[in-house]
Chain A
């Protein structure tokens, strides 16, 4: 089999054909990309041009899938009127919320939807425009639209600890806020489709705050699932075939519920090291499984251990019927040792071929 381009490889997976080899997606890695290119970590959140150039060069150097996307995990709070602090300290990883836009219950009922110039949006938009302008023919995607989780966004707006208490003490307020944010998110999807179209656009949803380390399955079912299902149904109705769903952290008990969500035909199910590849495939037999090297191992392991762990994942992933993309189980640590990142990439190259 001749070598496929990244685009052909992904198209093969989505058409349920075997590609030439397992694709490597490095996970969200703008932080790693800018530090790899000798820029300060804050550039990944403040300088769209430098981030774009760094990401492109890094993906080229390592032979990774190029998925242009500029965002951060706690997005939402700034855009809805709160404040964030950009990373500047020796150990900072990403922007952190320093003031939540919802401080009291009544703030929920006075919430204003953000405009296009709010918070991080102008920065992300500049990055996205650059990515769309410079897309190469051999690349599968030029844009990412976040289809969000209203529950996750609510956690960012209220503050995680307070919102977890509201789930028990003020469930009506929690439901109201989630409903509001869900409506905002759904209406944003329509606007995003008008602006970006469908071709080359990957829908993405992340669920880090829905892990069973924070909420049990019955609360997942009550507070997360309805909006998640509605958002995914809307994406399908709009014509987006595939959602990249990052099921972050320990979510084994949520899997039976998540299995009932329409993540696409097929969807890409991204998992962390807490969920086994085979377990994910059992719940999502017709979807592409993406994962799941432990980011902590990339950060702290030896190159030999990173190589062996990657090899084991790829060998098991290749056997999955629905297809497989290798990736770290979450964000590639911005300060991951280069020799470990090389070992990870080499292992996929060594054993990732389907021939």
Chain B
């Protein structure tokens, strides 16, 4: 049978949408116990559900609270299912490094962006908050991400962005860097040397996709 249509996977989808972390945990265990392919459960249950949550958030039907709770449900499911996925095509996944810049401890916005990328199947490497420029540089050397995303909420901490971008560029000139956060605009982002800017979590994915296309074209030239 087409496992994507399995009842348990449909319920897994619904549980994420309902922000039901306990339900997702129980269903994920049942999926393993029933011998259903965990990769299929992630692909047809968890990920599309989270993508739907992102759409509901963009449409002002879900809000930050719902997004955070749905993300908890997603992570609960991934923690159980992911270790059992054989031959995970990690290398085929897009990779994102994300963090708030040095001095900034406000990470709700960063966490929302992180969830959006996870929902689209990206491999997200979250460096957390108050991250020094060197940490981004080192992580990029380690994982060779497609995009590095920087977040700042304050007019003071956003001043760490140009320094961070310069440090990244010095070691990794090919990686695309995008930025976001309340005080930023596209104009400020570009003046800081960023390749892209997203006004909110909902716009981040579209910006990343556009960035990959333009950046890859640029690299070919």
Contact = CB atoms under 8 A, between A and B. Distances in A.
Q: Do A and B bind each other?
A: yes
Contacts of B173: none
Given A91-B101, A91-B102, A161-B108, A334 B156 contact: yes
A351 interface: no
Interface string B41-67: 000000000000000000010011110
A92 B159 CA distance: 10
Given A216-B63, A296-B183, A296-B184, A164 B158 contact: no
A212 to B, nearest CB: 9
A250 B106 CA distance: 17
Interface stretch (A10-18, A51-59, A114-122, A165-173): A165-173
Contact of A91 (B63, B107, B159, B200): B159
Contacts of A168: 19, 65-66, 69
A246 to B, nearest CB: 15
B126 interface: no
Interface in B1-55: 19
Contacts of A91: 101-104, 156-157, 159-160
B68 A161 contact: yes
Question: Which of B102, B103, B157: most chain A CB closer than 10 A?
Answer: B103
Contacts of A161: 68, 107-108, 111
A295 interface: yes
Contacts of B107: 161
B205 interface: no
Interface in A276-331: 295-296, 298-300, 331
A160 interface: yes
B155 A299 contact: yes
A213 interface: yes
B157 A93 contact: yes
A97 B129 CA distance: 13
Contact of B158 (A94, A96, A219, A296): A296
Interface string A76-92: 00000000000101111
Interface residues of B, number: 31
A296 B156 contact: no
Contacts of B185: 296
A215 interface: yes
Question: Which of B60, B65, B107: most chain A CB closer than 10 A?
Answer: B65
Contacts of B167: none
Given A161-B111, A295-B183, A299-B183, A93 B63 contact: no
A93 B103 contact: yes
Contacts of A334: 156
A19 interface: no
B154 to A, nearest CB: 5
A214 interface: yes
A333 interface: yes
14 contacts: A91-B157, A92-B103, A94-B154, A164-B65, A165-B68, A165-B69, A168-B19, A215-B64, A219-B63, A296-B183, A296-B184, A299-B158, A333-B155, A334-B156
- Ranked 7 nearest A-B pairs via Cβ: A91-B103, A93-B156, A296-B183, A333-B155, A91-B160, A164-B65, A299-B155
Given A87-B103, A299-B159, A335-B159, 15 more contacts: A89-B103, A90-B102, A91-B157, A91-B159, A92-B156, A93-B155, A97-B105, A164-B68, A214-B108, A215-B64, A215-B65, A249-B182, A296-B188, A299-B156, A299-B158
Interface of B: 19, 60, 63-66, 68-69, 72, 101-105, 107-108, 111, 154-160, 182-185, 188, 191, 200
Interface of A: 31, 87, 89-94, 96-97, 160-161, 164-165, 167-169, 213-216, 219, 249, 295-296, 298-300, 331, 333-336
